[in-house]
Structure 1
Amino acid sequence: MSRVAFLGAVAALLALVSPTRPAAEGFPVTVEHSFGTTTIERQPDRVATVAWANHEVPLALGIVPVGFARANFGDDDGDGVLPWVAERLAELGAPAPQLFDEGDGIDFEAVAASRPDVILAAYSGLSRQDYDILSRIAPVIPHADGAWATGWREMIRLNAAGLGRAEDGAALIDRIEARIAEVTAAHPALADKTAMFVTHLDARDLSVIRFYSANDTRTRFLADLGLDLPRSVRDASEPGRFSGEISAERIDDFADVDILVTYGGPDLLARIRENPLTSRMQAVAGGGVVLLGNDPAGTAATPTPLSIEWVLEEYVARLADAARTAE
């Protein structure tokens, strides 16, 4: 059976087994997004999510999804569930639900088999084709500003709206913002400092500097923490793209960067300090480098509703240490 035929059969089956219920208060709900609008007629009972971290919104609001994507980065114990998600599941007294393996893209068959009433994907790289296929299974909430461009606030707003919990989503944002303000207030060294987030550097080839643009959620999280985005990164950011790159021969363009955040360890730090080009960066020469590992702490630098609290104090402290070193 072809994939399209399979999904059509699943959709027909769900129509037969799903009882008709009157619309709950506040429904139907219509959500605008990159591909148009999605209308959800009734309060969803079975919530599935795809792509990175969308499951954290229903979990934060006390809803356990019937399935979500297996963690493919920073998963120390290999169980597919990051520690802040495991902690929240334990708080809710729930085991981990079905985990969708997205190593080769969205597992449409597994999503369909979970029989969702709604599919949340506000933070994702969903294509139009992905959206159309998923929409044959259940109403879908995709991104509103392009692939992987959804910030953590918008992730909460969109996904909470799809659950009919817009007010609860707004309250969750307020709580997270208050916690960020509390933690950053204890680190005045961050004031008036600039920071950029460089993608995974290859210690064997430092001829190209790849970085997350002004559109990326990691970069915007640095702004949440009180750091300024350097003019050089703003100028090099292209609309609709979450990353960019320049030749290391233009390294002097980043002279306005006080703190450099990237993934790597001591070996990488040694190489960028020794390299005749990267060593000229103010952040490198001044010691303002924060290295993140392929572990939960490194993963949490991509802010999500549950990971922010988990990583906040450690991350801000490390950034503040780098800011003081770079002075």
Structure 2
Amino acid sequence: MPSSLPRRTVLAAGAALLVGACSQEQAGRRTTGGRAAGGAFPRTVEHERGATEVPAAPRRVVAVTDGAELASLLALGVRPVGFGQRTDPLQPWTQEGLGQVGGQVPTYDLSSGEVDLEQLAAWRPDLLLVQDGFDADGMFERLSALAPTVTTSFIDWRRSVRQVADAVGRPEDGGRLVSRTEAVARSARGRLSPYRGARLAMVVSFASGEDFLLNAASPVGKLAPALGLAPFPASRTPGEAVEQVSAELLGDALEGADLVAVLAFEDGDPALARVVERPELAGVPAVAAGRVAALSVEESNGAYFDSVLTVPRNVALLERLARLGA
């Protein structure tokens, strides 16, 4: 995790159940790609780069990254022939999703952010899915020269699911997947009725001295109102999930919080101590009362990653934090 958090470069049982339900529903469709159930081919798929014609039901689907496009594909029960891997080991939700479609598949090293066109070509894809941001600087055109390419949203999991489902010819399945995932949040809202309006502040504090607050555009920020919790701070920059806060103003930003949660992106990072031990924050009510929580690396990554597979995890996280702040 770098010391700053631009959305384009950063990257639970509930998630496993969600993927499992979809995989069982789509049994027999997951070995090599999506079948055209509910969608005829050729078809035109609208996406972040415009529109792409997919001439036939894809059988060799490749995800350029291990991001939201892969998460949507796995949640639909489709096994890719390969994908780009940014994190080693893979995020837990990705591992669970792969388990539901038959286990590990070939990958290429994407830790540098460099797309390996040669490896993609070697997989002989008939459909390429790429998360928005990894298709810039002419990459979309180069990918499109290999196979029909669909660019998926990285800030809207619903849109990502629908784009992927449309591309593999299963728009109805995509709609059902969105509905099932939204039901997870609706169920939690009922359980959280005693904590309605609870205000959570989620802080990223780096050893370099930079502080950030997750905002209303972050995955957890978008979920909070749906659960009946207080809205997160408004996003000042379109597409950004965090707002940088100066050390002088951090106390003011945390003043009304019922609970302060501190994210960490490396094991052993004393991020919580960097926040709660600051003398200037001693007067913040939540800090003074000990209503603070340190998130695990897994929880922190999930809170920052917008995908259909992280929604159940983030719902469970927000539910836990709301109860802790009571």
Deviation at 1:270, TM superposition (A): 2.8
Partner of 1:179: 184
C-alpha distance in 1 between matches for 2:135 and 2:202: 24
Deviation at 1:156, TM superposition (A): 0.8
1:96 aligns with 2:104: yes
Deviation at 1:284, TM superposition (A): 3.0
Deviations 1:267-311 (A, max 9, x none): 33233222133444444344443322223x4433334323434x3
C-alpha distance in 1 between matches for 2:202 and 2:164: 26
C-alpha distance in 1 between matches for 2:144 and 2:178: 28
Q: How many residues align?
A: 283
C-alpha distance in 2 between matches for 1:71 and 1:276: 38
Which residues of structure 1 form unaligned runs of 5+? 1-23, 73-77
Which structure 2 residues correspond to residues 111-190 of structure 1 after superposition, within 5 A? Answer: 111-122=120-131, 124-143=133-152, 148=154, 150-190=155-195
Deviation at 1:174, TM superposition (A): 0.6
Larger displacement relative to structure 2 (28-37 or 112-121): 28-37
Report the 3-state secondary structure (helix = DSSP H, G, I; strand = E; otherwise coil) of the residue aligned with 1:164.
coil
* 1:176 counterpart letter in structure 2: T
Task: Note closer, same or farther for the CA distance 1:227–1:130 as it changes in structure 2 (3 Å cut).
Answer: farther
Report the 3-state secondary structure (helix = DSSP H, G, I; strand = E; otherwise coil) of the residue aligned with 1:138.
coil
Partner of 2:280: 277
Deviations 1:123-146 (A, max 9, x none): 6554242222222222222145xx
C-alpha distance in 2 between matches for 1:171 and 1:298: 28
1:30 aligns with 2:35: no
Higher Rg of the two aligned structures = 1
Deviation at 1:85, TM superposition (A): 3.5
Report the 3-state secondary structure (helix = DSSP H, G, I; strand = E; otherwise coil) of the residue aligned with 1:179.
helix
Partner of 2:95: 86
Deviation at 1:153, TM superposition (A): 1.4
* 2:183 counterpart letter in structure 1: A
Which structure 2 residues correspond to residues 296-315 of structure 1 after superposition, within 5 A? Answer: 297-301=299-303, 302-309=305-312, 311=313, 314-315=316-317
Partner of 1:108: 117
Task: Note closer, same or farther for the CA distance 1:31–1:25 as it changes in structure 2 (3 Å cut).
Answer: closer
Partner of 2:271: 268
Deviation at 1:96, TM superposition (A): 1.0
Report the 3-state secondary structure (helix = DSSP H, G, I; strand = E; otherwise coil) of the residue aligned with 2:98.
helix
Report the 3-state secondary structure (helix = DSSP H, G, I; strand = E; otherwise coil) of the residue aligned with 1:27.
coil
* 2:55 counterpart letter in structure 1: E
Q: Which has the higher contact order (CA 8 A, sep 6+)?
A: 2
* 2:143 counterpart letter in structure 1: L
* 2:105 counterpart letter in structure 1: P
C-alpha distance in 1 between matches for 2:309 and 2:238: 28
* 1:244 counterpart letter in structure 2: E
Report the 3-state secondary structure (helix = DSSP H, G, I; strand = E; otherwise coil) of the residue aligned with 1:198.
strand
1:62 aligns with 2:70: no
Partner of 1:221: 223
Task: Note closer, same or farther for the CA distance 1:98–1:280 as it changes in structure 2 (3 Å cut).
Answer: farther
8 Å contact from structure 2 (residues 262, 271) kept in 1: no
Deviations 1:240-292 (A, max 9, x none): 43333121212214434434333237833233222133444444344443322
Deviation at 1:65, TM superposition (A): 0.4
* 2:262 counterpart letter in structure 1: T
